[in-house]
Structure 1
Amino acid sequence: MKTVIAGAGPTGLLLAGDLAHAGVDVTVLERRDGESNLTRAFAVHARTLEQFDARGIAEEVIATGTPVSHLRLFNRIALDLGGLPSRYPFVLITPQYNVERVLEERALKAGARIVRGAAVSGIEQDADGVDVHTEDVPAYRADYVVGADGAHSGVRRALGLEFPGQAVVRSLMLADVRLSDPPPDAITVTAVGSAFAFVAPFGDGWYRVFAWNRANQVPDSTPLALDEVRDTVRQAFGTDFGMGECRWLSRFHSDERQVERYRTGRVFLAGDAAHVHSPAGGQGMNTGLQDAANLSWKLAATAGGWAPDGLLDSYQEERHAVGRLVLRTSGGIIRLALLQSRAARLGRDALAGLALHVPAVMRKATGTVSGIAIDYPHAPRQEDIDLGPTRLYELLRVGRHVLLGPSRPEGYDGRITHARYDRYVLVRPDGHTAWTGTEGDLPVALRAHVGSPG
């Protein structure tokens, strides 16, 4: 089976590495000619780190950044990630390009091909496959295509799909700077009546700053000077933290949009090609990576010839709802941040502060932002399990289903990895539980989730 992936960002690279690891012929088409050193994404949440753990790259990614276990919002609202039921009870602050580098190395090592300077200009599909057109090559022929080519996706446009939504905040300023007097908290966020600012360390002496000034709403094309960022940060915090050298400045707007269908025939959409939302909560890159983790094993199962009926359709069923949830949560956070009146801000701080003192509310809030609490209707997230000489997520690194249980079934070599356990649990390659039950129900469960034996 041949698969073409449009986009060599984190979503496309994770997908490419998974498919190549499973023996699928993978070509990645990337419209950029060279690598991008500076990007907007900077946060890797706990659930994403668990997915990286299932691929043996979590520690390599963690080494590139700064783990942060406490988030402080709007001066008084604090989120404690330290209680997350995960091996990674924190958010990792690291530039997106570090994540891309690790994922690209993994994909290339597994055998994926990356073609740069190749923007998708057309899609034609029939009953047997898909032709992907670019400007320089007549067509790439594939069995399946995944558009992971960003908010301005050429694949989505070629399919004629609408991208409904709206701009949630305009004229956001972004800067990567050095600070001579950085804030004491690792991540600092605040908002006053007319100004909002966010500061986070990359861990290498550079800081990521987002800033927004209600009184200066201008088009994205308006030139941005560092002094404008300094002024807005001072309005929000009362100081600019000694903002000095700057390596990147950008002005942009943030949309809330989601495509209605993640699958059109043999073509799928993932990441920003399928959904975009505000940067609040740092969930954008993470949501795309979770899309890829969900889709990759289903395409690999199809390539292997054992995919149960409807497996590829379940990508839409499971991930569209998650994309909608992220739009709601990130949109809610940014709207709370931009409240204009002092009375509204005081009410926000008081009510949120009281609510987060309730353990169940704190667990829900941190679990949603981190991705740990996001389950699928028939496949909840599976926590890691210590199995003596190994762990569940280490077993997932093979890329197969893992069956935990007292005995090993016959006829599933190459499709499941078995480990002895006191009860039966079937875990999908993306770390979600497919089934739990008794030995008597095991044959039916395996046929439903992993196909017939033999």
Structure 2
Amino acid sequence: MDPVIVVGAGPVGLALALALARHEVPSIVLDEGAGVCPESPRTVVLGEDAAALLARLGYHRAVSDAATWDAFTVWRRRAEVLRIPLDGAPVLHLAQHRLQRGLRDAVTATPLIQLVSLTKVVELEQDRDGVSVRTTGSRDGARTWWRGSHLVGCDGARSTVRKLLKIRFPGRPAVDRHAVATVRVDLPFAGEARLHREPPWRGDREACARPLPDGLWRLDWRLPPGRPAPTEPVDPHATWPGIVTGDTLLTRVKATLTGWCGELPAYELLAAADHTAQQRLAARFRSGRCFLAGDAAHLHGALGMQNLADGLRDADNLSWRLALAWHLPRPGAPVPLRPGAPCSTATRPSGAAPSAPGCAPWTRRCRCCARCAAGSRPVAHCSPVRSASTRRCWPTVSSAPAASAAPPPTRRRPPACPAGCPCSARPAAAPRSPRTCRRPLPASRSPTCRWSPPTAPPTVCGPGSGRTSCCSWSPPAPPSGPPGTGSGPA
């Protein structure tokens, strides 16, 4: 079967390819970039479930590369109004470029994943058997066709796959705008994330600080709505002239650090950027054999930084569904079994003895069948897909042996007319079921039989007919006197 095509080599696309590889599904990752992960101020906040997912996917340095928060505080002006301790539920704050580098290292060590860089998707076709994608090289312009069983678009908010599928992406284009900077500095509230609303210094509506490893902090400033006009020479590499470049950014950094520390501490500005928070949702996440995941399917606000965390959950949820569809055989197709795998009477070769009589005929890649045959695990746990996280097979097959399976239930038929009813005198083509015998009955007929022929009913209930079980007529009683003394004719 053809591999799964993943468009986009960001954290979501790489996580999806690794999750598919855990279910023994090959994949092709098409990356428009050169495969380099430069440092940027983008970060991601991960919970316990997301950190456990990264560890299962092969990125075991997620905890060591991230900073743990002790608490989250909210300040207004000069007073603290809310404190949320995070001792029981640790939160990991991780730089996005470190996350992407760790996932790329895991992808490089996985033989089931083919990573193709400098490739742009320009055309997409799908049929009932798979998906065909045409790409062009970013350097040489070479055109290449790729064939896959399914396709998943993980190529960000400006998704090319979503545009080729003509899926609408409605929502609010600009909810909030933030200026972001990465600063190396020592703040008095080490290990705590702080959100400061209406700070006492002038020029900022809202400021936020989140700790990172190695003494780094991510600083965010909420900007006023609208795009300001540049008041100084425009930097060609900046998208927010006059705000995140030059003296304006340095003024914000100095004012914020002075307000939190009392005086301006020694600091080092490492990176700066802008971020526009959007709230969008795709009209649908699936079109035939093509799917959307991550920012290509949904966008949320910026404060919680949950876009990437939700994208990782998309990859984890979609991977086992695609694996189940990839491993199950098509209806009517022969079911190949691995060499030495146990098989049932319906699927084993002629003359071969089954080693596990209870295994279902459609178990194709079930690794637990050998343990089923040894009696260490019931046959009910056999499945064509194995969960590598729990090291067990999914219980989807009945534990009853195939030879002793109960026959499928037959459709219940309506009862026939009782024996001895006038229905026996009906034509051969007339229905015998009482469900269709709904015509009016004469007064002398019993309602037990409801069928009547289209013509006049035959004389079946009278003297000499012998039918007394279904009709209301009964023969007259014999005279009580001796023979020949009755009142009837001689």
The residue number in structure 2 matching 1:192 is 198
Specify the alignment match of 1:160 in structure 2: 166
Task: Return 5+ residue gaps in structure 2 as ranges.
Answer: 138-142, 230-237, 332-365, 369-374, 401-490
Distance 1:103 1:400 in 2: 27
User: C-alpha distance in 2, partners of 1:103/1:34?
Assistant: 12
In 1, the alpha carbon distance for the partners of 2:122 and 2:8 equals 13
**DSSP-derived class of the 2:61 partner:** helix
Q: Structure 1 residues 6, 140: CA separation in 2 closer, same or farther (over 3 Å shift)? A: same
The match for 2:30 is 29
Q: Residues 239 and 228 of structure 1: is their aligned pair in 2 closer, same or farther, counting only changes over 3 Å?
A: farther
Q: Secondary structure at the match of 1:100?
A: helix
Confirm or deny that 1:78 pairs with 2:83. yes
C-alpha contact 2:380 2:398 (8 A) present in aligned 1: no
Query: Which residue matches 1:408?
Result: 377
Query: 1:42, CA displacement in angstroms?
Result: 2.8
Greater Cα shift, 8-17 or 297-306: 297-306
Greater displacement, 115-124 / 143-152: 115-124
SS at match of 2:87: helix
Alignment check: 8 A CA contact 1:70 1:79 kept: yes
Number of residue equivalences: 331
Contact between 1:16 and 1:26, CA under 8 Å: does it hold in 2? yes
- What's 1:365 paired with? none
Query: Residues 332-343 of structure 1 correspond to what in structure 2 (within 5 A)?
Result: none
Shift in CA distance, 183/37, structure 1 to aligned 2, threshold 3 Å: farther
Compute the displacement of 1:216 (Å).
Answer: 7.8
Q: Give the 3 Å change call, closer, same or farther, for CA 435–110 of structure 1 in structure 2.
A: closer
**Alignment-derived partner of residue 258 in structure 1:** 281
Q: 1:79 to 1:295 in 2, by over 3 A?
A: same
CA distance in 1, matches of 2:73, 2:367: 39
Partner of 1:6: 7
**Superposition deviation, residue 288 in structure 1:** 0.2
- Cα drift, residue 165 of structure 1: 0.6
Q: Does 1:278 align with 2:298?
A: no
Native 8 Å contact 1:182 1:242 kept in 2 = no
1:214 corresponds to 2:219: no
Give TM-score scaled by structure 1 length.
Answer: 0.64
Q: Which residue of 1 aligns with 2:480?
A: none
Shift of 1:33: 1.5
- 2:343 equivalent in structure 1: none
Match for residue 388 of structure 1?
none
Q: CA 1:139 to 1:73, structure 2 compared with 1: closer, same or farther past 3 Å?
A: farther
User: Where in structure 2 are the equivalents of 1:417-428 lying within 5 Å?
Assistant: none
Structure-2 change in CA distance of 1:263 and 1:7 (3 Å) = same
Deviation at 1:160, TM superposition (A): 0.9
Helix, strand or coil for the counterpart of 2:168? Answer: coil
The 5 A counterparts of 1:46-125 are: 46-55=48-57, 57=59, 59-74=60-75, 75-83=80-88, 89-111=89-111, 112-125=113-126
Q: 1:238 aligns with which of 251, 254, 259?
A: 259
1:218-246 C-alpha deviation (Å, 9 max, x unpaired): 38723322643454453698247637322
Distance 1:215 1:36, change over 3 A: same
Deviations 1:425-445 (A, max 9, x none): xxx7788xx999xxxx98399
Report the Cα distance in structure 1 between the residues aligned to 2:99 and 2:212, rounded to whole angstroms: 13
1:195/1:235 contact within 8 Å kept? no
Question: Structure 1: any 5+ residue segments left out of the alignment?
Answer: 84-88, 309-398, 418-427, 446-454
Distance of 1:245 and 1:236 partners within structure 2:
12
Corresponding residue number in structure 2 for 1:443: 398
Deviates more, 1:179-188 or 1:287-296: 179-188
CA shift, 1:285, in A, is 0.9
Aligned-pair CA distance for 1:27? 0.8
List 4+ stretches of structure 1 deviating above 6 A. 428-431
Q: State the 1:217 CA deviation.
A: 4.7
Counterpart in 2 of 1:303?
A: 326
1:42 to 31, 40, 44: 44
**TM-score normalised according to structure 2 size:** 0.60
- Following the alignment from structure 2 to structure 1, what is the Cα–Cα distance between the partners of residues 300 and 399? 41
Aligned-partner Cα distance in 2 for 1:305–1:12? 24
Structure 1 CA distance, aligned partners of 2:197 and 2:258? 8
The whole-number CA distance in structure 1 between the counterparts of 2:114 and 2:94 is: 26
Instruction: Compare the two structures and name the one with the higher helix fraction.
Output: 1
Indicate how the Cα distance of structure 1 residues 95 and 400 shifts in structure 2: closer, same or farther if over 3 A, else same.
farther
Larger gyration radius, structure 1 or structure 2 = 2
Report SS of the residue matched to 1:301.
Answer: helix
Q: Tell me the CA shift for residue 416 of structure 1.
A: 6.9
Between stretches 256-265 and 193-202, larger displacement belongs to: 193-202
| Distance of 1:188 and 1:161 partners within structure 2 | 39
Aligned-pair distance for 1:268?
0.6
Shift in CA distance, 199/160, structure 1 to aligned 2, threshold 3 Å: same
User: Which SS does the other structure have where 1:268 is aligned?
Assistant: strand
Q: Secondary structure at the match of 2:109?
A: helix
Q: Assess if the C-alpha contact under 8 Å between 1:294 and 1:430 holds in 2.
A: no
Structure with the bigger RCO (C-alpha within 8 Å, sep 6+) is 1
Change (3 A) 1:400 1:435: closer
> In structure 2, how many angstroms separate the alpha carbons of the residues matched to 1:243 and 1:158?
50
Partner of 1:364: none
Is the CA contact 1:221–1:251 (under 8 Å) kept in the aligned structure 2? yes
Tell me by how many angstroms 1:92 deviates: 0.8
How far has the Cα of 1:20 moved from its partner?
2.3
The whole-number CA distance in structure 2 between the counterparts of 1:204 and 1:297 is 37
What's the CA shift for 1:138? 2.9
Is the 1:21–1:110 contact (alpha carbons within 8 Å) kept by the matching residues of 2?
no
Give the secondary-structure state (helix, strand or coil) at the position aligned to 2:192. Answer: coil
Secondary structure at the counterpart of residue 43 of structure 2: coil
Is 1:225 aligned with 2:227? no
Percent sequence identity over aligned pairs = 29
Cα distance change of structure 1 residues 263 and 187 upon mapping to structure 2, 3 Å threshold = same
Matches within 5 A, 1:290-369: 290-305=313-328
Structure 2 CA distance for partners of 1:226 and 1:185, relative to 1, 3 Å: farther
